[in-house]
Structure 1
Amino acid sequence: MSADTDLDDLAALLPQLSTREAFAELETAQRAAEQAPPQSTIIPEPEFPHAWPHPKGGIARFPCALGCGWAHEHDSYAEDPDPISVPLTATSEDIGRIFGERAERRAARVRASVETAIRGHFADAHPGQEPPKRRIA
């Protein structure tokens, strides 16, 4: 028993999977991931040159895949203009949906911004050459 008996009571309500059932779920998820069609992107792996609490700790750098020295920088902390609004009557599912939708919108904006910067760089610095694609899981 922990000091937080409310949490213990909630945990007791959750279904308890046997080891065999938990392993079967993991295998099913792994098989599904292996069968998913491969995806690719022109966005290179980001670099994070500064760790928190450095003032530039939220900067993600996306370097040119051709190694020319150019990089697009994205401030992960500065860009989040949408206010979080959760109704007082929201259930945990509602809250999960609200935050999930918010994360998807933000990810789409960041992805579009980085792709636009990379395409612009290639048009200026590497005319006639398409940005290389990399496979993502």
Structure 2
Amino acid sequence: MSADPDLDVLLDRLRPRSTREAFAEIEAARRAAESREPQRTIIPDPELPPLWPHPDSGLVRFPCALRCGWAHEEDVHEIDAEPVSVPLHAGAEELNRVLTEQAERRAAKMRARVKRAVREHFTQAHPGQEPPERDLW
């Protein structure tokens, strides 16, 4: 037991688990994943960017599902332009909450941009055809 409760929580998470505890945790995660309803989206699978210092590093491409050659690009470096504001006295939980909320806002905005771009592309390049959906797990 230390004077820092955050350290105690971290050390407890790092302590070696028994085989029985590890198996129970894996089984619980598997059951939760099986019971979850799959979500559907029109956002195609992304093509991840090459590593830096490649000139296209940071550009995630969402190619047309019909393979017509079109792709919507998102610059991941540009996405992180929003400043993070955290109180100086914030603890680990507050910092985690602030960063999680910011990440969720950025992800929602990006999904909206990609969906809008895919719909516009199908309206112009593939009139009368709906964008295909895929399962998200």
Aligned residues: 130
Gaps of 5+ in 2: none
The answer to which of 55-64 and 41-50 deviates more is 41-50
TM-score scaled by length of structure 2: 0.86
Partner in structure 1 of residue 52 of structure 2: 52
Shift of 1:11: 7.6
TM-score scaled by length of structure 1: 0.86
Q: Within the alignment, does 1:99 sit opposite 2:94 as a pair?
A: no
Shift of 1:21: 1.4
Gaps of 5+ in 1: 1-5
Partner in structure 1 of residue 65 of structure 2: 65
Identical-pair percentage: 58
SS where residue 94 of structure 1 aligns? helix
Shift of 1:27: 0.8
Return the alpha-carbon distance in structure 2 between the equivalents of residues 131 and 11 of structure 1.
46
CA RMSD of aligned residues (A): 2.0
SS where residue 52 of structure 1 aligns? coil
Shift of 1:19: 2.3
SS where residue 79 of structure 2 aligns? coil
Correspondence 1:73-88 to 2 at 5 A: 73-88=73-88
Correspondence 1:4-23 to 2 at 5 A: 10=8, 13-14=11-12, 16=15, 17-23=17-23
Return the alpha-carbon distance in structure 2 between the equivalents of residues 49 and 101 of structure 1.
25
Return the alpha-carbon distance in structure 2 between the equivalents of residues 99 and 112 of structure 1.
20
Return the alpha-carbon distance in structure 1 between the equivalents of residues 81 and 10 of structure 2.
39
User: Cα gap change, 1:78/1:23 in structure 2, threshold over 3 Å: closer, same or farther?
Assistant: same
SS where residue 80 of structure 2 aligns? coil
SS where residue 78 of structure 1 aligns? helix
Return the alpha-carbon distance in structure 2 between the equivalents of residues 79 and 110 of structure 1.
8
User: Cα gap change, 1:50/1:93 in structure 2, threshold over 3 Å: closer, same or farther?
Assistant: same
